[in-house]
Amino acid sequence: MRYFRSPTLLMLPGLIWLLALMVVPCLLILVLAFFERGVYGGIDWDAPTLENFRRAADPLYLSIFLDSGRIAGLATAIALLIGYPAAYAIAKAPARRQTTLLFLAILPFWTNYLIRTYAWIVLLNPAGLVNGALQGLGLPALPLLYNEFAVVLGLVYNYTPFVILAVYSSLQRLDPSLTEASRDLGASAATTFLRITLPLTAPGVAAGAVFVFVLSIGNFLTPDLLGGGKFQMVGNLVYDQFLSARDWPFGATLSAMLIAVMMGLLLLQALFGARARGQNATPA
């Protein structure tokens, strides 16, 4: 019976799953990056090369990476500004209401991502509900669709729930006696929040930020639909290389670069969380 209690044995199914569906595909992508495109597309296994990496360093592709990072960073910042107060309000609500509020926060996930994105097209197009309401008030219609605003809005809408869940989890682990002691010592509510609550929930903020940034920088559907094809992000570039240009090695190279960025961010977030837990640990 003790064999079933072994931590290694209990982790084995999850490790096999991660190995088969994450590690192996990532290694395959990395291997493909070192070959040339075949004559009719695909891969020429007889032509190893480093040209794909030199090509990816072209200013054109680097500018797409930078633009993708800027848009993802903007979406992350807005998601944090919206998600943290929402998570804080849920955590401070009566216990009997928190489950309902969390359910409402994740309710959009019950609808297909594509349908949610098309819903924003209905809302934001020149003849849509938003501009219709503005014109009903005697205001001019606004260019709300097929621009960077629409792309950022779509990313924020779809990924803010990740921030809410991550921050709410940190707030739930926060010892209430710390904030009570701060208030008893004369600190204002703002000071207590800035010096106690916010630093102690920083790991949740970091986790939510990484979730939103990683998912946003690799997104291709939102820029394609809400951006009207006017904004080329890394996800769109990878999609086009694999399915349109059929240049699998170069698409794999761009994917490998994107995976490296994501893994670096996840590693930094894990190190930050471990450091924060070590600093917040109460000595025995």
User: 225-272 pLDDT, tens per residue?
Assistant: 999 877 789 999 999 999 888 999 999 999 999 999 888 988 888 887
Position 163, amino acid: V
Name the CATH architecture for the domain at 62-278.
Orthogonal Bundle (1.10)
The pair of structure tokens assigned to 191 is: 């000071």
Distances in whole angstroms, Cα of residue 248 to Cα of each of 53, 215, 243, 283: 13, 22, 8, 54
Given a cut of 70, whether residue 92 has pLDDT beyond it is: yes
Q: Answer with the residue of higher pLDDT: 79 or 188.
A: 79
- Banded model confidence at residue 160, pLDDT cuts 50, 70, 90: very high
**197 in helix, strand or coil?**
helix
- Banded model confidence at residue 152, pLDDT cuts 50, 70, 90: very high
Q: For the chain, which residues make up each domain, given as ranges? A: 62-278
Helices first, then strands: H and E counts in the chain: 15, 2
Q: Please say whether the dihedral angle defined by the alpha carbons of residues 47, 48, 52 and 54, taken in this order, is positive or negative.
A: negative
Q: How high does pLDDT run on average in the chain?
A: 89
Average pLDDT (120-133) is: 91
DSSP 233: -
**Cα(227)–Cα(150) distance, integer angstroms:** 7
Write the pLDDT tens digit of every residue in 35-77. Answer: 999 888 888 888 899 999 999 999 999 999 999 999 999 999 9
Write the pLDDT tens digit of every residue in 166-177. Answer: 999 999 988 888
pTM (whole model) above 0.95: no
